[in-house]
Structure 1
Amino acid sequence: MRRQLRLLTALLGLLGLLYVAGPAPTALAADAWTAGPASSGGTRPDSEGRPYFYLQGAPGTVFEDKLSVTNPGREARTVSLRAEDAEGAWIALASVEVKVPARTRADVPFTVTVPAGAQPGDHPGAIVASAPDGREQRTAVQLRVSGPTLAALSVEDVQIGAGVIRYALVNRGNTTLAPHVAVHAEGLFGELLRRPPHPVSALAPGRRTEHAEPWTDTPALDRATARLTVTADGGVHEEATATATFVTWGPALGGGAVLLAVGAGPALWTVRRRRSAHDEG
């Protein structure tokens, strides 16, 4: 009995020590340096901190701002910096490398120079901070040049494949778009697929992105037309369709559905695109 009591007392003491000490902090949390906008600056400051740089002004404007690199660790860290922007040389850093002492923050000034002949609209960029261990942090620079803006988008290369509908989006305007895509498919016997509008990745001016919509329950025997409807702020509304014929050949092909070409030629798909009244204007 006494032995059991001694064991119980020792166990309770050990648990008490663990409770008081708590879990040991990880080395990663102690040394996790960060990079981001300084606490103030830009044309849209935020008292709670800025997740990215936002700058807006007319052609010929020179913006000034700062990137903060914070090192909460016990040792000094050296971080390399580089600027990326679609125009090539609008962003200029005061330094391409910064050494941050332990438990210290370093602010690195930079400028964004907008040429006098710059086109109105969005010109996205970024400042990338990287350490010798390969870790990187990317801080977006959202620059909008004042002037007339145009929101325009096209839906291209719509294809119906095995279990998937593929398409491409191209930003034809000068503003960054956040598109939403709805998918609808009709067969000879009625509706086959209806997917409500859902967001896809943001699209900078002039950029093209490839996308895929899964369609796993394609029909065994039908002629299907898939319609994509894409909307975005600024009155963007675009549609495109693709048509394919599904045929099941039976046991010889394992019972799988096979896509047949519609119309002449070797292509497995046809596309019809209807431009919106917004773009035609």
Structure 2
Amino acid sequence: MTPLQSHRPLRRALHTALRTGVVALVVFCSTALATLPPAARSARHAQAGQAALSVRSTESSDRASTEAWSVEPTGTGGRSTFTMDSAPGTVIKDSVRVSNLSPAPLSMQLYGADAYNTPRDGALAYRQAGEAQTGIGTWVSLATNAMVIPPGRAADIPFTLTVPADAMPGSHIGGIVALNNAVEQAGESSGVDVGIQRAIAVRVQLTVEGPLTPGLAVQDLHMDHDPAGRPFAAARATLSYTVVNTGNTALEPTVAPRIRGLLGLRETTFPARGLPLLLPGQSTRLTVQWSPAPGVDFLSASVEVGATGVPTTSAETSQVVLAWPTVGSVAALLAVLAVCLALIRRRRRSGAGARS
């Protein structure tokens, strides 16, 4: 007779599997909840009875800016900008033409302004009249700063540009801005009445004689990984970085980001992107997104930046990315598999003992 087999090892294995499954389920639920995005909070601060004034300034070459007036260098040479080379201490004389293209008189302000790059997209912008000017904005002196131009007429305004004797060699960028005194009502935003004054600038690009040291750098390279809230779902990776003009020459950089996974099994090379004219000492923050991205991987990212006449430079970063819902699911499956294997081994040992 075959002796009866004890069911105690089987019950202990089943209890172990049940406890392991419950623990894995709790871990999975907690990690899945932790990855869900927090509830969006919105807040509106209405300021009734107040008005905000915004000045929109674009270059004269921007056709979308306005057709009411134009600003350009005086003369018939077809210049679109004032491009100058000068030694420190030099006084340059020239003239700017403001044309009224509308059927009504235009009341205008005219002033010199420093240029700068906007932080997010690197676009070239100009300081407003009330802002502090430290470069071209203080070097330009106009014959008049206010005028009324009849419809269909133009005014040629002489100006002098005095280069300081201690001016640093390299590029100095600014503009001569024509500001329309008329205020356009742009409606209401968050309870605030918004008025807009439009302005057009003609660029002044001065190169002061001396050693030129062009240079570019990629700084603050950072990668964010946004996993999905479901196991094994695709994630999204965001690569952000700052391009800095480290030299004394204005440049038009080209950037080429790239992200790849472990052993190059997943790789995305983004199209090279040309940036606007980046001024010395200025920077711009850029981002690219990779979607769908792997939920679990070892990602390496790099960004190359270069410009005409400037050697290409790059920056790199890498990190392990984890989607916790996926990790929790894999851990639960592995735990169940381990228990099943342990159960099979015990049954085999128990059967072998019974036959002996």
CA distance in 1, matches of 2:207, 2:246: 16
Residue of structure 1 in register with 2:198 after alignment = 135
Matched, 1:206 2:281: yes
Residue of structure 1 in register with 2:107 after alignment = 78
Asked whether the 8 Å contact 1:93–1:111 carries over to 2, the reply is yes
Residue of structure 1 in register with 2:81 after alignment = 52
Normalising by the residue count of structure 2, what TM-score does the alignment of the two structures yield? Answer: 0.57
Residue of structure 1 in register with 2:69 after alignment = 33
Summarize the Cα distance change of 1:172–1:31 in structure 2 as closer, same or farther, 3 Å threshold: closer
Matched, 1:181 2:255: yes
Provide structure 1 residue ranges, at least 5 long, that are not aligned to the other structure: 1-29, 41-46, 255-281
Amino acid at match of 1:93: L
SS in 2 for 1:89: helix
SS in 2 for 1:55: strand
Q: Deviations over 1:148-201 (max 9, x none)?
A: 101112211001124321001111111001111112222214142112432123
CA distance in 1, matches of 2:73, 2:257: 39
Superposed structure 1 runs of 4+ greater than 4 Å apart: 251-254
Question: How big is the shift at 1:74?
Answer: 2.9
Q: Deviations over 1:22-77 (max 9, x none)?
A: xxxxxxxx97121221125xxxxxx3x22211111111211111111111333321
Summarize the Cα distance change of 1:31–1:204 in structure 2 as closer, same or farther, 3 Å threshold: closer
Summarize the Cα distance change of 1:68–1:240 in structure 2 as closer, same or farther, 3 Å threshold: same
Normalising by the residue count of structure 1, what TM-score does the alignment of the two structures yield? Answer: 0.72
For 1:71-150, list aligned pairs within 5 A.
Answer: 71-85=100-114, 86-87=134-135, 88-131=137-180, 132-133=182-183, 134-150=197-213
CA distance in 2, matches of 1:116, 1:99: 35
Residue of structure 2 in register with 1:17 after alignment = none
Matched, 1:165 2:239: yes
Question: How big is the shift at 1:251?
Answer: 6.8
Amino acid at match of 1:154: A
Return the structure number with greater helix share.
2
Q: Tell me which of the two structures has the higher relative contact order, counting C-alpha pairs closer than 8 angstroms and 6 or more residues apart.
A: 2
Give percent identity, aligned residues only.
34
Question: How big is the shift at 1:248?
Answer: 2.2
The equivalent position to 1:225 in structure 2, one of 300, 314, 325, is 300
Q: CA RMSD in A?
A: 2.3
Amino acid at match of 1:231: G
Asked whether the 8 Å contact 1:70–1:105 carries over to 2, the reply is yes
SS in 2 for 1:215: strand
